Structure 1
Amino acid sequence: MTSFPEPTNPAGSRSEVFLGYLDYFRDSVIDKVSALNEPELRRSRLPTGWTPLELLKHLQYVELRWIGWGFQGRDVADPWGDRRDDRWYVAPDETRADLVAALRAQGAHTTAVVTAHDLAEIGAPGPRWRGADPASLERVLLHLVQEYARHLGHLDVVAELADGPTGE
């Protein structure tokens, strides 16, 4: 588990700070999902109806959409592959191990992209931006940190209801 990137911990760059938070949040999500038993992984405990596995897959696709499809402007076959019928979706044959591996691989890709680019660099034009000017890498990373923090809080509630691990 990555330790929390305390504001008093020295960092060599703003990129390192962003990556520290993303690694921490990603590892925390994985730890919480890994601690849940199999029935809880596919069960929704909230009125919105999402499951922990759906959240795990969603976060992998969030990074893919913002880093690969967005910032890099890569052609992505199915950028919304975490959705079906306007909600998050995990197929019955998708496993926790597969989804954790996909999230870790996406995280490694994000790290490689961030370390190879300046935070002020503007993303490539493409469909991710929906006709707007592409954002800088820094703005994309700030959005990803927000997305992870928000969803980790959601997962905290679900884990508590399932008698799983909570808090940091």
Structure 2
Amino acid sequence: MRPFPEPTKPAASRNEVFTGYLDFFRSRVIDKITELPEPELRTSRVPSGWTPLELVKHLTFVELRWIEWGFQGRPVEKPWGDWKDDRWHVDPAETRESLLEALRTQGRHTTGVIETTDLSEVGQPGPRWKGAEPATLERVLFHLVQEYARHLGHLDIITEQATAQSGE
């Protein structure tokens, strides 16, 4: 298990701090999904109806939307590919392994951007911003950190309900 990036642990840069937190949260999501029994992956334990696999796909698309489609201004064919009928969606053919690999791949891309870009750099104009001025990479990364932290907390609760093992 990847250790938590303690605030007292020295870091060479703010970029390294963001990478450390995102890598930690992403690894914990992957660990929890890997440990869940197969029947729990497509079962919802909450009134909103989302499943653990849908959460994984959502986090992959969150990174895609904010880093590639938003910050980098790249064209993305289906930026909302994690949504169908106004909710998160996973096709029956999508597997735990394929969804986790997609999350890892997207994470590697995000890490590459963080490692090679100044945090004060402003994103490219594009549809992600809905007409607003693009944000800096630092603001986008703050958003990603909160998104991961919030959803990992959700997954902690689901895992505890499913396996009786508590989170962090």
TM-score (norm 2): 0.98
Deviations 1:130-160 (A, max 9, x none): 0000000000000000000000000011101
CA drift at 1:27: 0.3
1:15 alignment partner in structure 2: 15
1:84 aligns with 2:84: yes
Aligned length: 168
Partner amino acid, structure 2, of 1:117: T
CA distance in 2 between partners of 1:24 and 1:64 (Å): 18
CA drift at 1:63: 0.2
Label 1:155 to 1:148 Cα distance change in 2 as closer, same or farther (>3 A). Answer: same
CA drift at 1:167: 1.6
1:147 alignment partner in structure 2: 147
2:117 alignment partner in structure 1: 117
Q: Is the 8 A contact 1:43 1:52 kept in 2?
A: yes
CA drift at 1:163: 1.2
Label 1:125 to 1:101 Cα distance change in 2 as closer, same or farther (>3 A). Answer: same
Q: CA RMSD in A?
A: 0.7
Q: Please state whether the residue corresponding to 2:163 is helix, strand or coil.
A: coil
CA drift at 1:164: 5.4
Q: Is the 8 A contact 1:29 1:56 kept in 2?
A: yes
Deviations 1:14-39 (A, max 9, x none): 00000100000000001011101111
Q: Please state whether the residue corresponding to 1:46 is helix, strand or coil.
A: coil
Q: Is the 8 A contact 2:157 2:167 kept in 1?
A: no
Give structure 1 stretches of 5+ with no counterpart.
Answer: none
CA distance in 1 between partners of 2:161 and 2:117 (Å): 41
CA distance in 2 between partners of 1:118 and 1:46 (Å): 40
TM-score (norm 1): 0.98
Q: Is the 8 A contact 2:50 2:88 kept in 1?
A: yes
CA distance in 1 between partners of 2:57 and 2:43 (Å): 15
Deviations 1:51-108 (A, max 9, x none): 0000000000000000000000000000000000010000000000000000000000
CA distance in 2 between partners of 1:164 and 1:53 (Å): 19
Give structure 2 stretches of 5+ with no counterpart.
Answer: none
Q: How does 1:30-45 map to 2 (within 5 A)?
A: 30-45=30-45
